[in-house]
Structure 1
């Protein structure tokens, strides 16, 4: 047990270095791997001390520590099970709108995560030319342009018609992505309805009945680990029947993204975003 804790601590430090070197992710959350390393080293040292001085340590202390650790691992496992098995496979073809969630834009170009999302969006737009893509993402302090603008440029360059795109450039988080994209969709629906009402009158003999607008079908396209949270937030913020469309994620950063997503899900659930 002790050697496993020391090994885990070393692996956490190595993975932190890999994250920094591989992707340049210097965000505060990447430091969590150093935090995990310190926790593992502390547990290993504490376990060794407990074995040497077992008679002097009250039983409640090791029991409490083990319970807390097991609870943390269990919560993480349950959240990840929800993330990857809680999203039912559905037919996502011919949706009215698909919200494409933004990701980091670097000075050198779009990030690998964003490229994977956009490549999936290109594929979807090619198969569903009638679907409107809502590109969602503002300009962060360390980004050269708004994420939505960079997304539009990439999609247009790769053959997606610009009239098939709506830009949403006000959002800085997943919650804002969904909320502002919903506003953009409602505005687009209002424009289309006004255009229909202002169009040429068609006179049909006899009585007629106005057909109510059919419910629109909205999807959200994002990385595989992110779909569950995006769907839950969408349902909370007024898009009850949301269709999740997932793309692959970076295999090197996959574990990091899963840990970050678990923390984000717990936070959003706690503050009422989902």
Structure 2
């Protein structure tokens, strides 16, 4: 018996449990969703094969294209804010001050707050009639909008809540990146007379490119799959202004019981995320240099 085959047989008892977990919880659900997307499954009766009918229905559905556009705006908005604010907060958390530990705890605390608690907090804060935000604006002589009830402000409000909830993770990742940078480069630049702003712009931020790639990837993937905040804050309204793809999948599957259509939406979302991931990796290979 060849040595390689013998080694494989010896390793099999250790590899099979992990492989079984992947098959049961990853590959089988993926194959099942792909199959259901080609049927008229409704969770009540046996599914019938319909081929690409669900995909043709999506392509002809204006609501799908609207949801796709809203999701893109949401993803880009949340990702841009999380990257920018996360980097700024990382610089603040990296500064040696007496309140360093307090600041780090305050920045990361919203990440561990449950979605339900987040929704309760922000529904109260953004209440157009009695919320503290609008009362503060009234004190300044400004009429506050109906944050979550106005189609013109609802999506922006959900974006801000999502950033408040999730910016702690990018901040911590950037902080870890800052602490892993070689101090010699910044010290040499300071000796040459470079200001802190110049050092940050010309040395620190470019060296954080690998961390930035990770943060952007995590943020984009997370936002494209988001539906919890929308479910708890706006339920896709008002007038469909916050109807993300993730929420549309939930609604079709568990409200309208159109599991076949929801599965087709899930496959489309998976294809989008896979495409975004490949594009990002290709761009990173060209522009990002790892030490």
* TM-score by shorter chain over 0.5: no
Point out the structure with the larger strand share. 1
Q: Which has the higher helix share?
A: 2
